[in-house]
Amino acid sequence: MVLDSLSPGSRRVYRKALDDFFRWHEELARPPLSKRLVQRYKRHLEDQGLAPSTVNRALCAIRKLAREAADNALLDPVLAEGIARVKGVRSNGVRTGNWLTRDQAQALLDAPAISTLKGLRDRGLLAVLIGTGLRRTEAADLTFDHVQQREGRWVIVDIVGKRGKVRTVPMPSWAKAAIDGWAKVAGITAGRVFRAMAKDDRLNGTQITPQAIRDVVAEYASALGFDGIAPHDLRRTFAKLAHKGGAGLDQIQLSLGHASIKTTERYLGIEQDLTDAPCDRLGLRLG
């Protein structure tokens, strides 16, 4: 019931959080669900040294579990209300994640061996992730119908992101060329752009999973010595390189599909520049 009410992206996160909670609950011989039990689980997660955001995601999943159980007469509403009042962990600062430099991003883009079909697919996939900032779930759902021309340039139209938000994302010509190179050799012109591959370098299905995309990024990043790089870090890299290249925050926000400019700023790790401050750009002076 919890998962049925969520978007596909949230469903994966909540499923893992609830599976972890149920395993821990099983080890305790399944005591009754209560505020005290959830507080105990919170301490268990903190004792493992997990990040506040990870602990808070787990608590969100358990709160929703309690609400759904109460709404369906499976849990006393008073108990559900008590669980809802379990406070999350306060976060000191923001963990901004990883970025690649322009040279590192170029090296990653050039890493796949395009003499193979898998290499062509992987180059196209990396080009889309770095060149447009799509989430891995969005890249997995990308179809040829999404790729269209608007105002003389290639764009990804009507891609559906988090919470069902629809947006259009401009795409650099080199990313479109990488898609075309893969699609031509693969002999595909419709449906999902990126497909699973068999070990003998043949197509294996009509789509690719978000987990497989994560594996592709990790494979090439690790080979280049960029350990710990995930698809979301390529999304951050897109934002960082675009900002350094002079793109406005509002335009980067629109491409990424962020509801708040604050989220975009966190992606960029923006800090106050005291040597070239906004007040220095006003163009005013005393008479």
Q: Please compute Rg for the chain using Cα positions.
A: 22
Query: Which one of 135, 136, 176, 192 is the catalytic residue?
Result: 135
Question: Where does the chain have alpha helices with state H?
Answer: 8-27, 35-47, 52-71, 77-84, 102-110, 117-132, 136-141, 173-186, 210-223, 231-244, 249-256, 261-268
Tell me how far apart the alpha carbons of residues 175 and 156 are, in angstroms, rounded to a whole number: 11
- Taking Cα atoms as reference points, which of 106, 13, 115, 96 lies closest to residue 56? 13
Does residue 220 have an active-site annotation? no
Tell me how far apart the alpha carbons of residues 130 and 45 are, in angstroms, rounded to a whole number: 34
Tell me how far apart the alpha carbons of residues 7 and 161 are, in angstroms, rounded to a whole number: 10
Does residue 11 have an active-site annotation? no
Please give the full DSSP string across 124-170, using - where no structure is assigned: HHHHHHHHH---HHHHHH-BGGGEEEETTEEEEEEEE-GGG-EEEEE
φ, ψ of residue 220 in degrees (nearest 5):
-75, -35
Q: For residue 160, list its beta bridge partners.
A: 166
Does residue 16 have an active-site annotation? no
Does residue 235 have an active-site annotation? yes
Tell me how far apart the alpha carbons of residues 120 and 123 are, in angstroms, rounded to a whole number: 5
Query: Which one of 15, 162, 167, 266 is the catalytic residue?
Result: 162
CA-based angle 52:105:126, to the nearest 5? 85
Does residue 146 have an active-site annotation? no
Query: Which one of 42, 64, 176, 235 is the catalytic residue?
Result: 235
Does residue 44 have an active-site annotation? no
- Could you give the residue numbers annotated as active site? 135, 162, 232, 235, 258, 267
